[in-house]
Structure 1
Amino acid sequence: MKTYREGYFEDKLKDEATVIEPNGGERYEMGNISVAFKVTSEMSNDQLGVYEIALSPETIGAKLHYHRFMDETFIINEGTVTLEIGNKKHHAKPGTVAYVPRFTPHGFRNDTEETAKLTLVFNPAQKREGFFKGLFETLSEEPVQPDKFLKLYNKYDSLPVDISNMIPVEEKNDVI
């Protein structure tokens, strides 16, 4: 009879959980958008990224794009978010969950007069925090440089469907 001396059946328990309170997490704000990092690439060994987004009224979150190496899930917490997925628009209300697998074109915006809040979940995380920091830096420049924006997008596995209409700016409302 074989004995198991190498501990294959002995779990080593750890206490490595992180609890983020409702207003917790590293927060970035620019213009009409704020992002709070809830679960980061570093915390999850790049397996999961969870980010809380607030969009002011009439604000674009992202124009139509897709990812090659990660899936994205939208969870609507407050307000109504217009999700553009493929060729369809969905007016997502609180409680809506939209799972967007890789290679699926998608974008999102707040077309209403009230602030909208949502949670974005990326799997794997692909160091998405660097994307958000770079996005805020790039979009705060006047004028926004399309080549720099595209370089940032490509670095973080975001590929615009239409590079002539990729920057989340609407001149009529002066939003980001």
Structure 2
Amino acid sequence: MSGLILPPGQGRRLTTPTQDVTFKATESDGSAISIFEVVVPPGFDVGAHSHHHAQEFFYVLEGELDLLAFEPVKRTEEGWQDWESADGDRVVHAGPGSSMFVPSGTPHAFRNSTDEPARMLFQSFPSPDHELYFEEITKIFAAGAGLDPEAVEELRIRYDVSQITPLRYDPPAQVSAGTAARNGA
């Protein structure tokens, strides 16, 4: 029996304007946990959702993300950024080294509210549900004719994703002032 060693940047990669996922360890490698490296573009909001069966773990490698992992006192359909738990938990703006564990049934979300990409390590149990989900949603995003809400909803139902607030992608309109200054603009 052998393990799996991948140099930086290696692994099977799925890329669209809203998704950049590199598979690191999958069911086909013998893993019971799906492990991915995910680049979250500026303006991407996965929307609050939950899974009845899956458990997830997120670890911020670079950049900053807004993270949520609790049942709010009151759910709102349009957004999750102002949610609060009965214990007073609120959304956390998290930087490198931050992590989030999500037990089955727990509402959770992440959003890149900055103007720079963020990179995270993402693990999901059991394998291969999220692997198949990413493969299929990549095809939907890659179709290029805009997001097909019916196709996304059907996909979510098949892969145990109970969406609470909408998935959104609102990329910044312009290059940030910090990026422009670094680039000499």
TM-score band, normalised by the shorter chain? 0.7 to 0.9
Identity of aligned residues (%): 25
Counterpart contact for 1:41–1:49, Cα < 8 Å: yes
CA distance in 2, matches of 1:171, 1:145: 19
Amino acid at match of 1:64: A
Which entry has the higher C-alpha Rg, 1 or 2? Answer: 1
Alignment-derived partner of residue 163 in structure 2: 160
SS in 2 for 1:20: coil
CA distance in 1, matches of 2:18, 2:154: 23
Any idea what the Cα deviations from partners look like across 1:93-118, whole Å, max 9, x if unmatched?
A: 11111101010111111111221100
Counterpart contact for 2:52–2:160, Cα < 8 Å: yes
Q: Which has the higher strand share?
A: 1
Equivalent residue in structure 2 for 1:122, among 121, 124, 128: 124
Larger relative contact order (Cα-Cα within 8 Å, sequence gap ≥ 6): 2
Aligned length: 154
**Which consecutive residues of structure 2, in runs of 5 or more, have no partner in the other structure?**
71-82, 84-89, 174-185
Equivalent residue in structure 1 for 2:52, among 68, 75, 79: 68
TM-score, with normalisation over the residues of structure 2? 0.76
Alignment-derived partner of residue 154 in structure 2: 151
Amino acid at match of 1:49: S
CA distance in 1, matches of 2:162, 2:156: 6
Counterpart contact for 2:18–2:169, Cα < 8 Å: no
Alignment-derived partner of residue 50 in structure 1: 35
Equivalent residue in structure 1 for 2:12, among 26, 30, 37: 26
Amino acid at match of 1:145: D
RMSD: 1.9
CA distance in 2, matches of 1:66, 1:74: 14
